[in-house]
Amino acid sequence: MSLQNELDLYESVTLRSRALWAEAQRYMPGGDTRTSVFWPPYPLFFTHGIATQIWDQDGIARTDFINNFTSLPHGHADPDVTLAIQDAAAKGAAFGGGNEPQVRLAKLLCERLPSVDLVRFANSGTEATMNCVRAARAFTGRHKIAKAEGGYHGTHDAVSVSVKMSPALLGDAANPDSVASTAGVPDAAIRDTVVLPYNDVENSRRIVEANAAELAAVIVEPMLGSAGMIPASPEYLRVLRDVTYQHGILLVFDEVVSLRMGTGGAQERYQVMPDLTALGKVIGGGLPVGGFGGRADIMELFDPTAGPRVSQAGTFTGNPVTMAAGLTAMEKLTPEVMERTEALRDQLAEGIHDVSAEFDVPVQVTGMGPFYAMHFTDHPINNFRDAANVDQEFKRQVFLGLMNEGILVASYMVGALSTPMMEADVEVHLDALRRVLARHAD
Ligand code: PMP
């Protein structure tokens, strides 16, 4: 069975989503307000979620393996997080001053993340990485940054370079070009962002060294998330640490996603300490959030009692509702809970291999911690180009097929397990994949 059959099946059961999307097109371009989660022919519209389940506009329940792009570690409407939100909201949504939940969440993050002495909050991961870049420029007096090809750090200009695009546009693999990933990025931003080949130790070192005098920061995801949950090799992160240290360049880890690779994030797991860390997603317990922190001597740039030298603002920054939700969600993310979720994820990864083998479909399952991605190919996946070099039509077919069979993952075949999941949820995922691949084989 082909992609067209999956599309027909999808359209036959999602009539209300399609109708709402048609109406939405009158008011929002493309009927959509979040390009990164749009999928053709039209995305589902959702009404509610409880724990592992999410319901669409047509009343169909699916098991949610993406949980708003990994921002809901405990699944939907976790009772403790919901209570914390209700309680905080009943006392007022936001105040023009400090609040206690900020202090509690900041303390938790400083205690958990080995490299973070001081932390600040923001309203999105985009703001988090933007503030890291600004702090690095202020601290070093240099203007360029380097980022990995395929690395996603949000939507501001400096990082909207060589993200998700056709590898044909990205130049030589060993010496990648800097290419705007969206229209509207000024040439100056592109000139100031150098691109490194991910997991390529020698070439990345060479490019950093060649630009060292102008580089304020190297920003990198310890695991390329939206490019397909591709972990960095330990050597890659160690070399980036060494070369940045040698040249007075700040190393920024974007742990917006990878924080859940351990209680102390990916930095603890890899035992590589960045100078600054960008945070987001789970630290807000499902509400909009960002955070950034790191070495005290850098974070003190933001200290208003001493200047400040770097100004940071945001009407909703550190609001007590988000802070209370984040604090509750993070407190529930204990080492035991994380280990249990990771063990389930490993079971799922093994099952995906087995089920694919039943149908002679080659697959690489990447990811660490609760994260996984399915790459239907027989070549290893070490960087963005490897992940892009797969049969895109088959990928779409499996994505829609899983949706038709009651499993929600990202359209780029990425997922993360949530803490309420049990072995039965893994089985449901594997059975769905089996049915999709069996249909394909027919
Ligand atoms: N960094 C990474 C690694 C991300 O995955 C994301 C969001 N998916 C961001 C930054 C941006 O976060 P936000 O969408 O909250 O702006």
Buried b or exposed e, range 141-168, using 16+ CB within 10 angstroms: ebebbbbbbbbbbbbbbbbbbbbebebe
pLDDT value, residue 386:
98
Residue 140, H or E segment: helix 125-140
β-sheet bridge partners, residue 293: 119, 277
Distance in Å, CA 225 to ligand 1 centroid: 9
The encoded tokens of residue 266 equal: 């990916």
Residue tagged 């310890």 (tokens): 222
Q: Is ligand 1 within 6 A of the CB of residue 405?
A: no
Residue tagged 């933007």 (tokens): 130
Relative to the CA of 69, which ligand 1 atom is closest? 8
Distance in Å, CA 259 to ligand 1 centroid: 12
Q: Is ligand 1 within 6 A of the CB of residue 123?
A: no
Distance in Å, CA 71 to ligand 1 centroid: 10
**What domains lie within the chain, and their CATH numbers?**
3-73+334-441 (3.90.1150.10), 79-332 (3.40.640.10)
Q: Is ligand 1 within 6 A of the CB of residue 10?
A: no
Relative to the CA of 129, which ligand 1 atom is closest? 10
Q: Print pLDDT tens along the chain (442 aa).
A: 699 999 999 999 999 999 999 999 999 999 999 998 999 999 999 999 999 999 999 999 999 999 999 999 999 999 999 999 999 999 999 999 999 999 999 999 999 999 999 999 999 999 999 999 999 999 999 999 999 999 999 999 999 999 999 999 999 999 999 999 999 999 999 999 999 999 999 999 999 999 999 999 999 999 999 999 999 999 999 999 999 999 999 999 999 999 999 999 999 999 999 999 999 999 999 999 999 999 999 999 999 998 889 999 999 999 999 999 999 999 999 999 999 999 999 999 999 999 999 999 999 999 999 999 999 999 999 999 999 999 999 999 999 999 999 999 999 999 999 999 999 999 999 999 999 999 998 8
Please spell the DSSP secondary structure of 80-97, one letter per residue: HHHHHHHHHHHT-S--SS
pLDDT value, residue 308:
81
Relative to the CA of 288, which ligand 1 atom is closest? 15
pTM of the shown model: 0.98
**C-alpha–C-alpha distance, residues 316 and 63, integer Å:** 32
Active-site entry in 144, 147, 281, 395:
281
Contact 222, 371 (CB under 8 A): no
Active-site entry in 78, 157, 192, 254:
254
Q: Is ligand 1 within 6 A of the CB of residue 372?
A: no
Contact 75, 64 (CB under 8 A): yes
